[in-house]
Structures are given as structure tokens and as C-alpha cells.
Structure 1
Amino acid sequence: MRRKRKFENPQQFSPHVDEDQFDGELRYGLHVVRAVLEQPATQIIALWLDKSRINKGLQEIADLAHKRDLAPLLVNREDLDILAPGACHQGVIIRCLMQPAFTERGLFTLLANLKAPPFLLILDGVEDPHNLGACLRTAEAAGVHAVIAPKDRAVGLTPVVRKVSSGAAERIPFIEVTNLARLIDQLRTQGLWLVGAVIDEGESLYKIDLHGPLGLVLGAEDRGLRRLTREYCDHLAHIPMYGTVGSLNVSVAAGVCLFEAQRQRIFSLS
């Protein structure tokens, strides 16, 4: 029986490294680092593990690293805190070269090569990194092909977003666009049906056909969909509410909408 590989620490660590000598970016957290290591095309520069926190999660990270011929550096927790101040790093930090950003052209190439009807999540101005991270996690779990958001007045892929997404940000294409309304119009010409989620307007979500080429559009936490975005949607839908709460958090609403669409899509296949 193959003996389980243990942590190795062939090098000494100094937290006072001149970071200008490195390219790339720091990412942290068990799920995020695992997702990075599972992407063969991602170039890893360094991997640090908390030597006082040897557990199953960190052992799995070390095993993945060794499969890629990487030697993790075992360091003190204080060293990790210096590398990522204020971060909930869970005892692991990785430095990797950033992958090229997914572009609008890349999005349409992706859509053209799909073997299933396109399934997109479009977020109109989500500014809270925890909400975006949760939306990405839910989208990846629901089988969404890509998530789209505007570049302006919206949060991008920050370290907090990546951490909250539990690795989904490393797996699902995230496209930031300059003009969201224009892109939605282009998607319509490609045959996608655009459904915007609103409060107390439109038809019930559960009465709308969501099984074909689809883009679900959700708005910002406070103001919902912008006027132009609403006008470019083919249909507006609301989630029926039966309690006294007037609205749902955008990430919760995204989960309800995405999995209702997924339910219909699976049912149509069966």
C-alpha cells in the first residue's frame, strides 16, 4: 500500500521578500488554492502552508502540489498573516500567474462551441464581494456556462470574492464588459432568451419557460436592474414571496432562479 506523503519543508521562509521580483497574485483559502492547483494551465510560483496546522485539508493541498512537482514551504502562521494581512487564509497561500481575462469575443466563442443550450448568469452592478462570491459559487453548482458583469460600478474578482466562491471563481468563466446593455442585445441576436429578475412585477418565475438558450439577469443589492438593462430583457419575472420580507439577497435570489432553470432544463431532457 502506498504510504501517505507527508509535508516537506526543504527551504526556509522569510516574510520580508521583495514581492516586486514576482509576477502573479496571491490567492488563499483551502477551496481556492485547491481549485488553482487543479487547473493544469495555471503556473504556480510559490505555495505556503501553516506548519502548525497540519490537517486533512492542508494534507490534500500538499498532495496536489506534489503531483505537480511543487514543494510547499512550511511556515509560521505569523508569516502567512504578513503575506496576506487581514485575510482568512486557513493556513494556505499560493502565488500564481494570473490567467488571461475572459473577453467578450471569448464568450461568443464559448457559446458557439457549446453542445447544450447556453445558460448564463448576468449580474447588473453587484458591488458586495460576498454577494458576488456567493453568486459565482451558486452559478458553478447550477451548471452555468459563464457569469457576466459590468466593469464599472460593480465588484470584480477580488481575493474576498475568490474566497467566498469556494473555488468557483477559478472554474467558471467571469466576463466583465464595458456596455452591459449592448452585450445583452448581442446575446438576444444569438438566440438567447433574457429573463430579468424583479420585485412584484412581471410573471411568476415558475410560470416562465427557462429550458432553452437562457440568460438570467439580476440587479444590484439596492437598486435592482437599471432601466436600460430592463428594457433589453425579453421578459421580467419575480420570485413569489409569501412572508413579510419584501425582497431576497441577490445571491439567494440567484440561487432560486438558477436552480429553477436547472430543474426545467433537466426535466426537458428527461
Structure 2
Amino acid sequence: MTKEYILEGKLSIEAAIKGKSRRISRVYIDKGKKGRDIKSFESMINKTGIKIKKVDRHLIDEMTQGKTHGGIIAKAGDKRFVSLEELIKDKKNPFIVMLDGIEDPYNFGYAVRSLYLAGVDGVVVNPRNWMEATSVVAKASAGTTELMPMAVANDIEEASNFFKDKGMTLACTSNRNSISLYEADLNVPMFLLIGGEKRGITRSFLEKADTIIQIPYGRNHGISLAATSATSVIAFEMMRQKNITKSNI
């Protein structure tokens, strides 16, 4: 029997449907919810052929981890991942990010939200089973983990070798032999590795990286940005550089 997971809230469910990221078997709605928004949501769900079940609020609470679902949840199957090849298919100037070492599901969701909003083309993850934290990850990302194309790589070597063979620049963050983020050319086909705060970047990847980036700070206190914050800063600098190029065409 296929295992099912819970998606909480309208945003996560709508994103899963839009992104065709997973099969949804049923949507549960608090029978006490009224209003134009809920009618519009029900109409959208009915058009997909997904069944809706109106239930008491306490039944929804029992199926979820918290109380922030807004009275709307869905039972869904496994997330559909794509291949590494599909992440860059038909992309002239792809920007792919691998999140390695971000263990907390909330932080993972926050990081993907930033990457998606900045226009990153795809995300590579390690084989960790994020499915068990589906509801948390989807809510923290505001549904963007259901919209972002994602591929699984067994390890950093597999992913970096693949993208290197495709002619993409390998990049990461570190203080070692680095250049300022604002001096780095991010407007090229790039595979960026974001390491976790505990493990950082492996020496083997640092040795093969084409570009090592350092984020300049306004104060030097011997501390660094959290991985999720660093992810946001780099992703939006990438977006800025790409937008400048577009405006000059």
C-alpha cells in the first residue's frame, strides 16, 4: 500500500496541484468554514476531480501536527522528483543549487522559498527522506517545495561531476581563496553548493570549485550568516545580475 502524507493549508495544496508534484487523493475541509474564498477553493478542487470531504475541525486537528492548517488539509502521495538532466533541459543559462547539510525541515523550507522566488531553475537534494516532514516543509516554504523542480543525487560528487560535464561553473561559499559575492559572475550556467552550518563544504569540492564566494559583512564578529540567510543573499544577487543583463539587451 502506498504511503500517504499530509499537506496543510490552501497554499500547499494549490501549489501541489499547480506543480503536479504529487498525487492528491482527498481534500478535507472544516465543515464550519464559510465564505467566498472557501467556495472558490472548493470549485478549483472539484475541477481537478479530487474528492472533498467536509469534517469536524477536531478530526483535521488529529491528522495534523499543529493548528496552523486553517481548516484545510489534503492526503497526498510521494513527491515526484526529476532527473539531474531534466533540471537543465531547455535552459540556456541554468542556475542550480544543491542544499547539503540543512537538516531542519523548517530551514529547508525557508531556503527553497528564497531560491524559488529568486528564479533558481532547480534544486538538488541528498537522499534524506524529507517525505516524513512533508507538511512542515511545504508550509515553511509557502508551497514552493511543491513548485520547485527537484532532483536527488546520492552525494555531492555525483551532482558536481554531472553538471561539470555539462560545462557549468561549480561554485560554493567559503572564506578560503574566495572572492566577494559582488565581484563574482553569477550570470553563467552555474551549480552552487550550499553547505550546512555544522559540516560546511567538503575539501574535495573546494578543490574542484571554479568559483568560491564570500559574502561581505558590515561587521566582523567572527560569526557568519545562517545557511538559509546566505542562500537568500546569493540567490537574489544572482537574480539582480541576470535582470541587469536582460535590461541591457
Same fold, TM-score > 0.5, yes or no: yes
- Say whether 1:129 aligns with 2:105: yes
Larger CA deviation: 143-152 vs 248-257: 143-152
Deviations 1:102-140 (A, max 9, x none): 2xxx221342322x3111111121111111101111111
Partners of 2:238 and 2:95 lie apart in 1 by 9
Tell me which residue corresponds to 1:222: 198
Tell me which residue corresponds to 2:7: 27
Partners of 1:133 and 1:216 lie apart in 2 by 18
Larger CA deviation: 141-150 vs 225-234: 225-234
Do the aligned partners of 1:122 and 1:215 also contact (CA within 8 Å) in 2? yes
Tell me which residue corresponds to 1:117: 93
TM-score relative to the length of structure 2: 0.87
Deviations 1:225-263 (A, max 9, x none): 122232232121111001355211211111110110111
Give the C-alpha shift of residue 41 in structure 1. 7.6
Do the aligned partners of 2:21 and 2:147 also contact (CA within 8 Å) in 1? no
1:171 corresponds, among 123, 147, 169, to 147
- Is there any run of 5+ residues in structure 1 with no aligned partner, and where? 1-19
Does the residue aligned with 2:15 lie in a helix, a strand or coil?
helix
1:36 to 1:226, Cα distance in 2 relative to 1, 3 A: same
Do the aligned partners of 1:185 and 1:232 also contact (CA within 8 Å) in 2? no
Deviations 1:58-84 (A, max 9, x none): 444323212224452221221001122
Tell me which residue corresponds to 1:90: 70
Tell me which residue corresponds to 2:243: 266
Tell me which residue corresponds to 1:231: 207
Q: Percent identity?
A: 26
1:195 to 1:56, Cα distance in 2 relative to 1, 3 A: farther
Q: Which residue identity lines up with residue 263 of structure 1 in the other structure?
A: R
- Is there any run of 5+ residues in structure 2 with no aligned partner, and where? none
Does the residue aligned with 2:89 lie in a helix, a strand or coil?
helix
Larger CA deviation: 78-87 vs 126-135: 78-87
Tell me which residue corresponds to 1:62: 42
Do the aligned partners of 1:42 and 1:97 also contact (CA within 8 Å) in 2? yes
Give the C-alpha shift of residue 207 in structure 1. 0.3
Partners of 2:108 and 2:231 lie apart in 1 by 10
Partners of 1:38 and 1:124 lie apart in 2 by 27
Partners of 1:203 and 1:239 lie apart in 2 by 9
Partners of 2:3 and 2:199 lie apart in 1 by 38
1:57 to 1:247, Cα distance in 2 relative to 1, 3 A: farther
> Which structure has the higher relative contact order (CA within 8 Å, separation 6+)?
2
Partners of 2:95 and 2:158 lie apart in 1 by 18
Do the aligned partners of 1:119 and 1:145 also contact (CA within 8 Å) in 2? yes
Q: Where do 1:118-197 residues align within 5 Å?
A: 118-151=94-127, 156-157=130-131, 158-159=133-134, 160-197=136-173
Two-structure CA RMSD over aligned residues (Å) = 2.4
Deviations 1:153-176 (A, max 9, x none): xx7252211111111111112222
Tell me which residue corresponds to 2:30: 50
Which is higher, the Rg of structure 1 or of structure 2? 1
**Corresponding pairs, count:** 244
- Say whether 1:107 aligns with 2:81: no
- Say whether 1:209 aligns with 2:185: yes
1:41 to 1:209, Cα distance in 2 relative to 1, 3 A: closer
